[in-house]
Amino acid sequence: MSKIKVGIPKLTYSGHLGRTEQDEGPKTMEEGGLLNLLKKWDCEVVESKAAKLTAEEEKVYGARYRLGLASNHLADIVANQIKTEVLPIGLLANCNGLMGMLAGHQRAGPSWKPLRVGLVWIDAHGDFNTPETSLSGMMGGMPVAISTGLCLHHVRRACGLDPPLPMKYVTMVGVRDTDPWEQHLIDTHNIPQVTVPDLKNLTPKISEEMERLASVTDIIYIHVDLDILDPDDIPGAGLPVENGPTADELGEALEIMFRTPKAKGFGMASYPWRRDTERRGLKSVYRLVEGVIKGVKNRE
């Protein structure tokens, strides 16, 4: 098999109100050893590019809207990589980068017509809140709801994700910490779930959901919020949740997922670069990427 061509699109804008918009997580994930490992795994990194606001966009009022504009630039990077048969491995400040990654997949087709994009959402949290259901009000708890058209349509459109994803294009993996009304929305919309026990035991549910998504979509994006992992494997996670999979367990599950030919992109968010002082979490990050690469190599 020829070398796997890899691209590294990055989004450092956080979108958080009242906080700095730049995050060092993507840079740390890339420069901590990822490039050497990809070379070791017989990959060729053909591009590493961060989404940047223009000088005029920097002046636009509103952290959320600026995030949307930056995400639209991210989408262009991702789309161009997929069109040239490059596997994007997105390094994202946090899960607010989801919309840009999805928009990039959506516009990666050969014509004006948006592709039907499937989403595998791997996170301890559902991020399916809306401003009406959220207990915290954090936009970081809303990306999946935004991407499926439940709220903040102006942010989604600024990201370039249009139309939103139908609910049947979404699978949630490892979600185990939700707000009450958020869970109500998940249940009401019948979002399919792959549980932590499914991950740990590599049950057929993993392949079944990949097959289901492949049957209704043109292309699939797989997104990991690193707090999906058990806290021992991601020290310093901002919102840790007990009883998650280990990096080895999730890496093996990702290998299964990426055997699906329609899985064209991967992204990781929320690396706790300040608090992972011993860089144990960074090793977990690289174990996940290893699973992705093994899966692509093992496609039939």
Tens of pLDDT along 180-204? 999 999 999 999 999 999 999 999 9
- What local confidence, expressed as pLDDT, does residue 20 receive? 43
CA torsion through residues 79, 82, 88, 94, sign: positive
Segment 203-218 mean pLDDT: 98
Q: Per DSSP, which regions of the chain are E strands?
A: 4-11, 43-50, 87-92, 117-122, 170-173, 193-194, 219-225, 263-269
pLDDT beyond 90 at 93: yes
| Burial letters 251-287, b for 16+ CB under 10 A, else e | bbbbbbbbbbebbbbbbbbbbbbeebeeeebbebbbb
Torsion angle, alpha carbons of 266, 272, 276, 282, to 10 = 10
CB 26 within 8 A of CB 10: yes
Torsion angle, alpha carbons of 155, 158, 159, 160, to 10 = 130
pLDDT beyond 70 at 17: no
- What local confidence, expressed as pLDDT, does residue 16 receive? 65
Share of the chain above pLDDT 70, in %: 97
91-95, 133-137, 170-174, 222-226: segment of lowest average pLDDT: 133-137
90-94, 114-118, 235-239: segment of lowest average pLDDT: 235-239
CATH number of 4-297: 3.40.800.10
- What local confidence, expressed as pLDDT, does residue 18 receive? 44
Residue 228, Cα to own-chain centre: how many angstroms?
12
Segment 28-46 mean pLDDT: 97
Q: Which residue has the higher pLDDT, 95 or 110?
A: 95
CB 295 within 8 A of CB 259: yes
State the Cα angle at 57 between 56 and 59, rounded to 5°.
70
CB 6 within 8 A of CB 41: no
pLDDT band at residue 1 under the 50/70/90 scheme: low
Tell me the pTM. 0.97
Q: How far apart are alpha carbons 210 and 255 in whole angstroms?
A: 12
Tens of pLDDT along 153-162? 999 999 999 9
Q: What is the mean pLDDT of the chain?
A: 95
Segment 206-224 mean pLDDT: 98
CA torsion through residues 21, 231, 181, 266, sign: positive
pLDDT beyond 80 at 177: yes
pLDDT beyond 90 at 14: no
